């Protein structure tokens, strides 16, 4: 019975979440909820647990709120947001994040080193550097190696630099989604945005060249007129297949 109650709660949140473009300016907004929901978001699954993401909170009181809203092409979802969250990918941080995983694993298994530790050492010490290192022609070399290996057995094909980039964005987007559901559970609304000037946003946030903006999320209490129409989705049969 308890399971049922939890299930209803989750599905209500999924159904009720909408991208809301106009946020209420009057009622108090609890900025602590953003912090709480981001702390939930980082529990999202992410590739190799490398957590190659960062989240920049820009509350309405921040000196950056208006400039960033402008860089979101002045979308109302940004200008009326009580807080903006910029989701950033940090592919460039792979070395320190792999090292953090390695030292966690060493600490965990320090009294009982064995197969698991060896596997993790090989994963973060060998495989991850192979995938994430950047050298001239490395992308094409990896692709050829993967292709040769695939002749004998199933092989992961997504090994190029652009594949790594996609992978890092996938993980960031999953965290962003977790954040938006958590905000809905807190009684707040959100709007994910990809309509922004990424070059200028990066400059404003002082982000390095190799980082990327995954999305910017407007947060607040949505107004009814902020929901632009009834929700439309394709018929289930067009997108869900049982094979
Ligand atoms: C990656 C991504 C980028 C988006 N960018 C924008 C945006 O720049 N501006 C906007 O108003 N909505 C944006 N949206 C919201 C979508 O338009 C919205 O999710 C879609 O129309 C479905 O509506 P719903 O979220 O209310 O179910 C974006 C959504 C996603 C997932």
Report pLDDT for 112.
85
Tell me if 114 is assigned to some domain: no
Residues with C-beta less than 6 Å from any ligand 1 atom: 18-19, 21, 75, 77, 191-195, 215, 231
Tell me if 52 is assigned to some domain: yes
CA dist 180 and 198 (Å) reads 21
Tell me if 241 is assigned to some domain: no
Q: Sheet harboring 53-59: ordered strands across?
A: 53-59, 83-89, 212-220, 189-193
pLDDT, tens only, 18-35: 999 999 999 999 999 999
Tell me if 119 is assigned to some domain: no
Structure tokens at 226: 């902020």
Indicate which atom in ligand 1 lies nearest the CA of residue 173.
1
From 189, 194, 224, 234, give the residue whose CB has the most ligand 1 atoms within 8 Å, as the site to mutate: 194
Report pLDDT for 113.
81
Nearest CA to ligand 1 atom 25: 19
CATH code of 80's domain: 3.40.109.10
Cα Rg of the chain, angstroms: 21
Tell me if 9 is assigned to some domain: yes
Report pLDDT for 110.
87
Indicate which atom in ligand 1 lies nearest the CA of residue 195.
8
Tell me if 56 is assigned to some domain: yes
Structure tokens at 103: 């030292």
CA of 195 to the centre of ligand 1 (A): 9
Q: In the chain, how many domains are there?
A: 1
**pTM given for the model:** 0.95
Tell me if 182 is assigned to some domain: yes
Write out the residue range of the structural domain in which residue 39 sits: 2-92+175-224
Residue ranges of the chain whose pLDDT lies below 50: 1-2, 5
């Amino acid at each position: 019975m308890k399971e049922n109650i939890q299930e209803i709660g989750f599905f209500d949140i999924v159904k009720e979440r909408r991208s809301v473009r106009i946020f209420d300016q009057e009622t108090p907004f609890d900025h602590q909820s953003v912090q709480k929901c981001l702390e939930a978001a980082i529990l999202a699954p992410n590739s190799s647990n490398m957590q190659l993401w960062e989240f920049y909170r820009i509350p309405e009181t921040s000196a950056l709120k208006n400039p960033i809203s402008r860089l979101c092409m002045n979308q109302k979802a940004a200008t009326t947001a009580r807080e903006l969250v910029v989701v950033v990918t940090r592919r460039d941080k792979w070395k320190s994040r792999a090292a953090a995983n390695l030292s966690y694993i060493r600490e965990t298994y320090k009294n009982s080193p064995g197969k698991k530790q060896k596997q993790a050492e090989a994963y973060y010490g060998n495989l991850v550097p192979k995938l994430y290192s950047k050298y001239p022609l490395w992308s094409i070399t990896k692709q050829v190696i993967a292709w040769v290996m695939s002749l004998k057995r199933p092989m992961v094909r997504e090994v190029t630099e652009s594949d790594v980039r996609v992978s890092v964005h996938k993980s960031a987007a999953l965290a962003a989604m977790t954040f938006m559901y958590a905000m809905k559970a807190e009684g707040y609304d959100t709007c994910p945005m990809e309509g922004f000037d990424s070059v200028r946003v990066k400059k404003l946030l002082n982000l390095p060249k190799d980082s990327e903006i995954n999305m910017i999320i407007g947060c607040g209490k949505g107004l009814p007129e902020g929901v632009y129409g009834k929700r439309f989705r394709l018929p289930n049969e067009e997108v869900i297949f049982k094979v």
